[in-house]
Amino acid sequence: MHFRHSITTLAIAGAALLGHAPAQAEKLVLGNEGSYPPFSMVDPSGRLTGFEPDLAREMCKRMNAECEFVVMDFKALIPALLQKKLDAVASQTKPLPERKEKVLFGRPVLFNPDSYVVPESKNYTFTPEGLKGVRIGLQRGSAQAKYVGEKYGNAVQIVFYDNPDQIRLDLANGRLDMSLGPKISWTNEFLSKPQGKGWKFAGGDLWTGGGEAGSSWLARKDSGELLNRMNAALDTIIKDCTFTKLRKPYMDVELLPEESACR
């Protein structure tokens, strides 16, 4: 064992003398919320899975980077990034103006409009008067929570949750009247499942990210060069249709206009 170790050490030292030291892979710590199926979820073994982690792993491979994931509540991701506990955030985030003041947004990784999820028996008018007293479940720190708060003020009763699974559970159990969230996620995780029977989308397609369409990954303002390399890797993944290949096991709907070339 000692002999083999010595040979390895000599080989590395020899390579260094010849100017061929083994390249050290860049190490990056990526934050993800891990509770947003089918985009991200933690499996029973504790491994982070879903479309976004798969996409991030492919991005890291093309960047020759070793990536470690840290799972935390969505509302904690930007603070952790700013505190340098993360190098980047690989959880889809909408470009709200107050977020853009603090962090850099990468190229969109998906376009996913929001819509209200309401009982099929209800025909709400989406005004402060029409929604007076309605209990609406929203994720803490989300663009949807900001949008509803600004649009309806105290007319609605906002109930905050740390993740969408809790919202869906309370909708199905009759503890909430409605929610507002991304259509792809709500279709896959609620409306297409038995517990979503009797619910529907209402209010049309909304872009709650300050009016801007699309959601992106993030880096700090002092990490523009890193974000440029992330964007470049993502561009190649999209162009060679790997993005579409990674997406298909999780959902049928296309997430980006560029995917039309991969049909």
How far is it, in rounded angstroms, from Cα 181 to Cα 163?
12
pLDDT at 218: 98
In angstroms, the Cα distances linking 54 to 49, 51, 57, 207 are 7, 5, 5, 26
| 3-class state of residue 173 by DSSP | coil
Residue 3 has pLDDT above 60, yes or no: no
Residue position matching structure tokens 């109930």 = 159
Q: Which domains are seen in the chain, by residue range?
A: 26-111+214-259 (3.40.190.10), 114-206 (3.40.190.10)
Residues with Cβ within 8 Å of 187's Cβ and at least 6 positions away in sequence, in order, are 253
pLDDT at 210: 81
| pLDDT tens-place string over residues 198-252 | 999 999 999 998 878 999 999 999 999 999 999 999 999 999 999 999 999 999 9
Residue 10 has pLDDT above 80, yes or no: no
In angstroms, the Cα distances linking 150 to 30, 117, 125, 153, 244 are 31, 19, 17, 6, 36
- Tell me the whole-structure pTM to 2 decimals: 0.82
pLDDT at 227: 98
Residue 158 pairs with which residues in a beta bridge?
Answer: 136
